[in-house]
Chain A
C-alpha cells in the first residue's frame, strides 16, 4: 500500500496536531493542581481570598505559557518550514 498525496503536507499537519496535543498535557495537569490548591487555601482562610487570587493569576499565566511554547513550535512547523 503506497502513500498517496503530499508527504510533506501530511507531516506538517501531523506536527501541528501532535505539538498541540502533547503540549497541553503538562500545563493542563499543572493548572488543575494550582486551582485545587487555591480552593483548598481559600477554604482554610477565607479572609486571604484577594491575595491568594493574585498569586493564582500569576501562577496561571506562568503555567499557560508552557503550552504556548509547544503550540508556537507547531505553528513554526506548519506555516514556516
Chain B
C-alpha cells in the first residue's frame, strides 16, 4: 500500500515534469497557462458568462464541497463514526474551535458560522484540487488531448474578489445592524482623544477598512498565482534558459510543489476564513 502510494505520487509529479509540447516550441510562455479561453461561449446581454477552465474548476469544487457534507449526513450519523464521518467531524471541529469561536462574538455566532465554515471548505478544496494535473493545458499533444497542467481557480482575481466582496458586504451590514449607520462610523474613532487626533484616526481607519478589499483578495490571489508560476517555471527551466544546466531547478520545483500543496493551500483558506470572522467580530464589537 505504501509503495503503491509512493508510486502514485511519483507518477503525478512525473506528469507535471513532462512539458511534451514545450520541447517542440522555442519560446516558453508560462503566463499562457492562466489565460482563460472559453470552452462553451455564453454571452448574455454584454456579460461574458462563458464556461472556461476556471468555471469548470469552480464547478468541480462546488460539487466536492457540497457532497463533502451532504453525503455523510444523509447516510445517517452514527455513534461509531465511519471514516467519512470522522473526516467531516474533524473539519467541523476545526472550523468551530479554531476559527469561529476565536473570532465571532456570541451574538452573531450562529448567524455567520456557516458562512465562515463555507469559506474555509470552499477555498480549501479549490486550493487543494489545483495541484492535481488535469488535461487543461493551453497546448495539445498526443492527438488532440490538451497537455496535463495545473490550474487554480483561486489564481484568478475575479474569484477571490467575489469572495472578498461577500465578506465586505457582510461585515459592513453587521456593523450597521449592530450600531446604526452613524454609530458604526463612530466606532471607527475611539472616544478619549482630542478632535484633531480623532478625525485623523477616523480617516485612517476608514481607509484601512476600504483597503481590506484589496488586501484580502490579493493575498489569496497572489499566493496561489505565485506558487503555481514558481512550479511551472522551475519545471520548464531547462527550456527557459536553453541549457541543460537548468535541470537543477527540478528538485526545487518538486520541493515547492509539496510545500505548497501540504502547507500553503490549507493555510490560505484558514487565513481567509479567520480574517473574515475577525472583520465581522470587529464590526460588531470593536476592541478599542
Contacts and interface: CB of A to CB of B under 8 A. Distances in A.
Contacts of A54: 98
Contact of A72 (B225, B268, B270, B271): B225
Given A57-B267, A61-B271, A71 B31 contact: no
**Chain A contact residues, majority secondary structure:** helix
Nearest to A75: B229
A68 B271 contact: no
Interface string A43-81: 000000000001001101110110011011001000100
Contact of B31 (A61, A65, A68, A79): A79
Contact of A75 (B223, B225, B267, B271): B225
A57 B229 contact: no
Contacts, number: 37
Contact of A65 (B98, B219, B229): B219
Contact of B222 (A57, A62, A69, A79): A69
Contacts of A68: 218-219, 222-223, 226
**Chain B contact residues, majority secondary structure:** helix
B222 A72 contact: yes
Nearest to A57: B267
Contacts of B270: 57, 61
B280 to A, nearest CB: 16
A13 B45 CA distance: 41
Nearest to B157: A72
Contacts of B218: 65, 68-69, 72
Given A57-B267, A61-B270, 11 more contacts: A54-B98, A58-B271, A61-B219, A62-B219, A65-B215, A65-B218, A65-B219, A65-B222, A68-B219, A68-B222, A72-B225
Interface of B: 31, 98, 215, 218-219, 221-223, 225-226, 229, 267-268, 270-271, 274
9 contacts: A61-B267, A62-B219, A62-B271, A65-B218, A68-B222, A71-B222, A72-B221, A72-B225, A75-B225
